[in-house]
């Protein structure tokens, strides 16, 4: 099974004394698990891991593949860790309230968030039983928002037009945002803490995307206490290109010569997590 994307520990927050309080691994279960085309319009559709497998199955998979590493880190440092998925994050009152407050200012940031079209998109999966498909680029998705709720209308690949009501109180529905858009909301939602400094650990390939998020933050009004970003070294192939596990699994790129199987699946690691 292809694994959902995980962004290594989205924390650690710090107290005023400078001690690390906890680590949090954020699993992106909104990554596409299935793709399809609408033969009538040519629009692309996707079904995310959260809808295709279910949140519990995704969390179990993340625990199996990343759990030993984080348990080892906790044992060696004495700092606890937690595993969260995007499904939990998007349903939280803080995340949704941040998104709703951002909407009136979004026109100022739209070219930063969607440089090719100027239309940062929102996806809401079809709520029909066992469906969960959504237009990947949200061509026919419309948002009408208020102070604490939003009504979103879209068109399903199989069920036609549908409506989803999102609010901050119940966390109903599913708010899926494009990558840059999601990161803007996430950083804004973490900026309100006065006694906690959030540190976001990202892969080195995200450096250039962060420039666009910074532009969007400046456009909408950057908060005085935005999260700090820490970038990990990027793993590259012998050609200097980023090692893409997805492309290798899909057979579009060959495995680098001499690379061990655990490079694609850490469960094949022959040592221990402490190694």
3-state class of 247 per DSSP? helix
What 8-state DSSP symbol labels residue 242? B
Q: Give the Å distances, CA to CA, from 67 to 1, 33, 133, 208, 226.
A: 17, 22, 29, 29, 28
pLDDT for res 150: 96
pLDDT per residue rounded down to tens, the chain (275 residues): 444 444 543 444 444 445 666 778 888 999 999 999 999 999 999 999 999 999 889 988 888 888 888 888 889 888 888 888 999 999 999 999 999 999 999 999 999 999 999 999 999 999 999 999 999 999 999 999 998 999 999 999 999 999 999 999 988 999 999 999 999 999 999 987 777 888 899 989 899 999 999 999 999 998 888 899 999 998 888 888 888 888 888 888 888 888 888 888 777 888 887 77
- pLDDT recorded at residue 21: 67
Query: Measured between alpha carbons, how far is residue 144 from residues 68, 121, 128, 141, 177 in Å?
Result: 44, 14, 21, 10, 16
| Number of Cβ within a 10 Å radius of residue 233 | 7
Q: What is the pLDDT of residues 248-269, one digit of tens each?
A: 888 888 888 888 888 887 778 8
Task: Supply the DSSP symbol for 159.
Answer: T
CA 49/CA 30 separation, integer angstroms: 6
Residue-level pLDDT at 50:
94
C-alpha to C-alpha distance for 254 and 17, rounded to whole angstroms = 48
Concatenating the DSSP letter of every residue in 179-205 gives: HHHHHHHHHHHTS--SS-B-EEEEEGG
For all residues of the chain together, what is the average pLDDT? 87
pLDDT at 13: 40
């Amino acid at each position: 099974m292809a694994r959902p994307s995980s962004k290594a520990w989205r924390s650690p927050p710090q107290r005023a004394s400078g001690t690390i309080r906890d680590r949090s691994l954020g699993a992106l279960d909104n990554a596409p698990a299935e793709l399809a085309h609408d033969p009538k319009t040519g629009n692309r559709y996707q079904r995310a891991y959260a809808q295709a497998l279910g949140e519990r199955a995704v969390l179990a998979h993340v625990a199996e593949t990343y759990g030993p590493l984080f348990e080892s880190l906790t044992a060696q440092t004495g700092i606890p860790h937690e595993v969260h998925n995007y499904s939990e994050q998007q349903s939280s009152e803080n995340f949704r309230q941040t998104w709703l407050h951002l909407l009136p200012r979004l026109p100022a940031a739209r070219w930063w968030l969607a440089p090719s079209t100027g239309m940062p998109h929102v996806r809401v999966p079809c709520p029909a039983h066992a469906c969960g498909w959504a237009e990947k680029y949200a061509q026919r998705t419309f948002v009408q928002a208020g102070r604490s709720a939003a009504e979103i209308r879209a068109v399903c690949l199989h069920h036609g037009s549908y409506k989803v009501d999102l609010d901050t109180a119940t966390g109903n529905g599913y708010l899926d945002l494009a990558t840059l858009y999601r990161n803007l909301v996430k950083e804004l939602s973490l900026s309100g803490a006065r006694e906690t400094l959030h540190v976001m650990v990202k892969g080195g390939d995200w450096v250039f995307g962060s420039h666009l998020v910074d532009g969007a933050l400046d456009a909408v009004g950057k908060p005085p206490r935005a999260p700090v970003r820490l970038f990990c070294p990027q793993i590259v192939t012998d050609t200097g290109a980023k090692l893409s596990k997805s492309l290798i699994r899909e057979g579009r790129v060959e495995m680098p010569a001499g690379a061990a199987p655990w490079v694609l699946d850490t469960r094949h690691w022959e040592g221990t997590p402490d190694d």
